[in-house]
Amino acid sequence: MLDPEQLQKGIFECFKYSSHNGVSLQCFISYCVCVFPQLEEWWLDAAYLELRYPSHLNVNFGGPAPYLEHCWPPTEGVQLQRTSISMWHTLQYWDLLRTERLDPHKAGNVALDMDQFRMLFCTCKVPGVTKDTIINYFKTESEGPCPSHVVVMCRGRFFSFDAVCDGHILTPPELLRHLTHVKQCCEGEPAGDGVAALTSEERTRWAKAREYLIGIDPANKTILETIQSSLFVVSLDDAKPYATAEDYTPMTREALTGDPTIRWGDKSYNSISFADGTFGSNCDHAPYDAMVLVTQGYYVDQQLKASDGKWKGSETVRPMPLPEELVFTVDDRVRSDVAHAKQQYFETTQDLQVVCYAFTSFGKAAIKQKKLHPDTFIQLALQLAYYRQHGRSGSCYETAMTRRFYHGRTETMRPCTLEAQNWCHTMLLPAASAEAKRKALLLAFNKHNKLMAEAQNGKGFDRHLLGLYLIAKEEGLPMPDLFTDPLYSKSGGGGNFVLSTSLVGYTTVLGAVAPMVHYGYGFFYRIGDERIVASCSAWKSSPETDAETLFQNLVTSLHEMLHLATTAQL
Q: Where in the sequence numbering do the catalytic residues fall?
A: 285
Closest C-alpha among 286, 274, 284, 283 to residue 248 = 274
Contact (Cβ atoms closer than 8 angstroms) between residue 88 and residue 175? yes
Angle, helices 218-229 vs 203-216, to 10°: value is: 130
Contact (Cβ atoms closer than 8 angstroms) between residue 255 and residue 64? yes
* C-alpha span between 553 and 570 (Å, rounded): 23
Spell out a b/e string for 155-168, using b for 16 or more CB atoms within 10 Å of the CB, else e. Answer: bbbbbbbbbbbeee
* C-alpha span between 199 and 189 (Å, rounded): 24
Closest C-alpha among 376, 393, 383 to residue 446 = 376
Closest C-alpha among 52, 1, 76 to residue 238 = 76
DSSP secondary structure string, 277-297? Answer: S-EEEEE-SSSS-HHHHHHHH
DSSP bridge partners of 412: 399
DSSP bridge partners of 111: 106
Residue 105: HSE in the Cβ half-sphere, 13 Å Cα cutoff? 17
